[in-house]
Each structure stands twice: as C-alpha cells, then as structure tokens.
C-alpha cells in the first residue's frame, strides 16, 4: 500500500473523528464485531517523511551568515517568521522543503545561501498523528514515530482506566482510501502479557478504548 495514497485520503480529520466517536459508542455498548488487524498490517514498517505542523520548534542555520541564523515556533496559522521573512509557510512541509524555501527567500539578500533546518519539540500535523479516545488514563494526540506499536502508545497515554474494556477496543485506520475498523485485544496485551496482541501503528490511526458496562 502506498503511504502517500493513504496520506492523501486523510483530508477530513473532523469527519474521521466524528465517525470514530460514533464507533466509540457502539464499542461501549458491545454492538458489532470487527475483524482483527490483518496479518499484513500487524508488523508493517511505514516509510514516511515527517511533515512540520503548528507548534513545531525549528532552528534555522545559514552557513557563513550566522547573524541570519535563528529559531522559532511555527504559528497556529502554519507560518514562520525568520530574520528576513515575516510570513513563510512552514506547516505541511518537510524540514528539507522548508530549508529550500528559505534559501529562495534569502537569495534576494544573500548570495547563494545554504540553509539547514533542525526540528525539535515535535507536534506534527493531524494526518501524521495517532489519536487516543475513550478510557485511556490520558487521552491525547501523539505524533507518529517510526516503528511505533500499540504497546508504545498505551505507555504514552498512561494505560487504561479502571472502567476500560480493553478487549472491546477498536482501531480505526485508512487503508487504500477506505476507512477500516479492527478489533484489538488490549486486555490480553496489558494484563496477560500476550505479545501476539501487539500491532504496529500507522500515521493517522485512531485508537478507541471502550468503556466496560459491568
């Protein structure tokens, strides 16, 4: 499956989140059964380039022109202010793409500028994040990172609440432009140390931890 094709399909985070909330209600009520994550996706290794988003901190180095080097945070509107450019579009670009754009902008003032952009304080864009809803100790949006698994994610959200029904939880994922919902065995993974219940994650995944009704 092409990651770029998958990424293009994630153009409506609000609509996807709305659907996820509906699934959360159904999962909590015990309605419907979803298939497990297919074997081909259980250990998938996603090759992707990190895309900058609002809140990301960047350091800009201009070789041979240290006075033009600077740092800053991408604003909520997705733009960045540098030493010579007030409103440079940064969100939605890789650090390399941003560096090339800065070189073009600076070329009006500096002869053949060479720019490097270093990213820190990662926030990312929603399409490359993992969202955790429901009965997690600390539900949140977490930037995806390479080799990330369900177990890694559970650690970051502090595990499950006392009211969670881990084995009724679901994973919502876009596959070839279509939304798919898979069942998870979180209780088996966390309480019984059943590593076979662990699965690899993909950018844009939504984890919905169901509430126990007993």
63-110 pLDDT, tens digit each: 999 899 998 999 999 999 998 998 999 999 999 999 999 999 999 999
Region 139-166: mean pLDDT is 94
Could you tell me which residue, 190 or 1, shows the higher pLDDT?
190
Q: How many domains does the chain have?
A: 2
Residue 45 pLDDT:
87
Region 12-17: mean pLDDT is 53
Q: Looking at 102, 120, 138, which one is the last position of a domain?
A: 120
Identify whether residues 152 and 86 lie together within a single domain. no
Give the pLDDT band of residue 123 (cuts 50, 70, 90): confident
Identify whether residues 44 and 133 lie together within a single domain. yes
Identify whether residues 111 and 142 lie together within a single domain. no
Average pLDDT, the chain: 86
For residue 183, give its domain range. 3-48+126-211
Q: Looking at 104, 120, 136, which one is the last position of a domain?
A: 120
Identify whether residues 36 and 134 lie together within a single domain. yes
For tokens 């979803």, what's the residue? 34
Q: What CATH number did the domain enclosing 181 receive?
A: 3.10.560.10
Residue 121 pLDDT:
81
Identify whether residues 76 and 35 lie together within a single domain. no
Give the pLDDT band of residue 2 (cuts 50, 70, 90): very low
pTM metric for this prediction: 0.74
Identify whether residues 25 and 94 lie together within a single domain. no
Task: Tell me which of 34-38, 106-110, 123-127, 171-175 is least confident.
Answer: 123-127
């Amino acid at each position: 499956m092409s990651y770029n094709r998958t990424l293009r399909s994630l153009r409506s985070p609000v609509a996807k989140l709305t659907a996820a909330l509906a699934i959360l209600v159904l999962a909590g009520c015990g309605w419907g059964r979803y298939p497990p994550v297919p074997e081909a996706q259980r250990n998938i290794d996603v090759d992707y380039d990190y895309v900058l988003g609002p809140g990301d901190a960047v350091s800009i180095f201009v070789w041979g022109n240290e006075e033009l080097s600077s740092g800053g945070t991408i604003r909520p509107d997705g733009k960045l202010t540098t030493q010579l450019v007030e409103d440079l579009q940064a969100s939605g670009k890789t650090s390399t793409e941003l560096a090339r754009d800065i070189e073009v902008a600076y070329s009006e003032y500096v002869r053949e500028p060479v720019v490097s952009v270093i990213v820190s304080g990662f926030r990312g864009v929603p399409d490359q994040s993992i969202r955790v809803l429901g009965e997690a100790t600390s539900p949140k949006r977490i930037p995806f990172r390479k080799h990330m698994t369900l177990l890694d994610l559970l650690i970051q959200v502090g595990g499950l609440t006392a009211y969670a029904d881990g084995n009724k939880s679901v994973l919502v994922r876009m596959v070839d432009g279509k939304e798919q919902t898979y069942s998870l065995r979180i209780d088996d993974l966390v309480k019984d140390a059943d590593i076979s219940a662990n699965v690899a994650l993909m950018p844009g995944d939504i984890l919905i931890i169901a509430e126990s009704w007993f």
